Structure 1
Amino acid sequence: MPLHRNGPLTVVAVAALLAGTACGSRLPESDFEARAPTSRGAPATPQGPPLRVGVIASATSPVGGSAFTGPRDGAEAYFARLNDRGGVGGRPVEVHTCDDGGSGVGNNECVHKLLDEKKVVALVATAVLDYAGAARVSGAGVPDIGGQPVGPAYDTYPHLYGIYGSLAPRAGEPGWDGKLYGGTEVYRYFKREHGARTAAVVSYNQAASAAYARLVERGLRAEGYDVVTEQVDFALPNFRAVAADLKDRDADLVLDALDTHGNARLCEAMDDVGADVTAKVTNVQNWSSAVADDYKDAPRCRNALWATGSSRNHEDTDHPAVRAFRDATKDAKAHSQWQLEGWAAAMWFTDAARSCAQSGGEVTRTCVDRYLARGAPYDADGLLLPVTYERRAKPPPTRRTCLSVARWKDSEGWVTQGDMGRTCFDVPQLSYQP
């Protein structure tokens, strides 16, 4: 997934590029079998020293204090619950967090601190603006489990396992010959399931935003859409003019390469001019309960918000794994999809550590990495679309990919739209430069 380093403008890449470019790593699965939650019981007797893991988050990044903290919070909640139930074979998990400040220098400092000083066995739920230390993590053979692929690191280096998987060779170069690939399943979904035919793509007049908008436009055209392109000035955006044009052009869908603030202002303008659409499509980073506040001045547009991703809706409390997550985070001020994915990343590490302990071996970096690299899809008790890591010599021209879809309703919050294990499409894989 592309990463652009443009100070505050990087939020465009973070918020927009998570919309679908990692989709080509997902596998279909017709059904999920969730294992029963571990009985609470009394904590097991400690069987050894704590297992140390590291969590790097750009908690004080230029794009805002809460932009990258969801995965960290979800992972910490999982490990707290795990330790309350006895840890891994009686060994508690000791979590060491590090805020890299959203800079490459800070990221390298965090990597040094966690790998060399704290001697962590793994990194978990990484969510950073600039993963400058990725090569060092890989070179040390430290598994990075369930990180958010904001940049191309998880499609570049071995021992790094992003939350959405990868088929790339990961031999030190992004993707295949420097190109990454993503599918068009999001656009196919709205075309087939909701009859969408005209899509608008809104971007800033800024390189990162415009580049992503071109990628979205290309995917939409591949799916046969009539595409309307709109661009606003980053410093002085005229969202009302854009909204008026969307209304005149009868756009069914609105997709964007904007930050959350820009999205909210665009929605307000759409409400002001009476521009109604089938869906205002957002992404996993904005799939949170904060929607009610972020879009408080745009009730019509707010209720046209749809989100797509690779994980089960965090409001699907009928599912036992989601219910466990929500029970453990019941005191959180808000809930988000990134929190749930951080929880799933922590579960992934735990399952790897348990496999080491159950085989009679030590929980080491090498043993944990062996579990992750074994080639078996991982679904975190049904929280994730099955994640796989392979090393294919060539990118697949097409893939059958699945997606999780939800829409916002004021009366209900995020409402799941169909079974994510059955919402699957055979779609082309389009290349792009990270």
Structure 2
Amino acid sequence: MSNSNDQPEESSPTQFNGQRDSGPVSLEFTDSELFRNDTVFVLSSASVVKPVGTAPGEMCPVADIKNNAYFALNDNHPHWRRMLSNSYMRTMFTNSAKPSQKQTRVLRLFDLDHRGWASVEHCLQYSRLEPIDPEYASRFSMGDTKSHALSRAEASVAKKAGLKAILSDEQVRDWEDRRPQCTLRCQWAKYSQNEDLAQVLLATGDAKLVTIEGKSRVERVERELMIVRKMLREGRDGRAILGSTTEEEVTFDSILHNIDDDEEDQSFSVSYMIPKYSKPKTSTNGMSVSLPPTPVSSAPVPSSGVKKDTEGAAQPDESRSQPLKPMNVTDAMAYIQSIREHRDPSVYDEFLKIMTEFKSQRINTPQVLERVATLFKGQPSMIRQFMQFLPPGHVLQSADVEKSDAQPIYVLTPAGSRIVIDPSTGRIQT
């Protein structure tokens, strides 16, 4: 490891070309834009709890260690190195209870290209093998029908299974060319869809993030992960990473496409999966570690109706909180069909518009909930049923349905926070 005072010659920029509606966008960053040379963190799914900068291969300025500059990592997420690794899964021990069953909706960490993924490693193995053996590659993903057991296997098992496929020299070169872009897309999907993980990533400040690979202990600089960190911090549009040339219009069929119809899924609660997150303060290294606002379109959703002060708000009876029942395709079709047959045709058009903006990440989860609650104001059942379309990890907490028409609707997020919806006014509190 080089001395922290030595400034190495800057390497060639990492490049990825995407598209926005206005034309080509180039994501081009130098080393100095992505990390500082005096701080190195080593990520690993097998890491043990150690203070920031003290694990083997790590370094951190003494002043930052003494001042606990990275307290958000040390205090709130002792297993943060595991959470940032490509092998991280929701079943991995990170100072929270381990789910007892490997169910699709528990394991589904993020969605990408109309498929669900249990980890970045699963997605990378699929990307590596898909051009060679699509049928075998599909075993690593969680699709719309019953998924292969490999899609639920531990990431280390998935990696070993993927490496069993022998690639020719040409195929190896092809994968090495494609790997940076594939990794970048996987990392963006993972962190943009999981607020708790994004908070952990941002809490690393400008540290250089690396992993140690293979028996030879080769250090790999996680440039793609640091690009995602930079873009999250700056609130940049992820469509450039995902390679979206235009906004994909949501249709009746596309809404149903991502509904998981795995018959083995059972109801579950994420309250035992993810520890509650305490919002971090600004660290002594000058880097804010709080999550930036999610980028929205040039015409953002009005927020005048969103109350930030939840003091005095009614709280649910925790003993009666119920986990979200997995939705099957029949339920989704009935829900969408009821909207299509609404007496006001503009309701269906507005619903598709909302889903289009939500899918393209122009609006975030609280904003889409406010839009839907406003659209179906006074119709609590329609608002509750929409919860089935939220990203993995969100849980609907409700009282007795027969008595809850005028009661608030509570949604528990993966980060442990709660969104409160007033179905009579369409307003939300976060």
How high is the TM-score relative to the length of structure 1? 0.26
- Whichever structure has more strand as a proportion of its residues is 1
> Which has the bigger relative contact order, CA under 8 A and spacing at least 6?
1
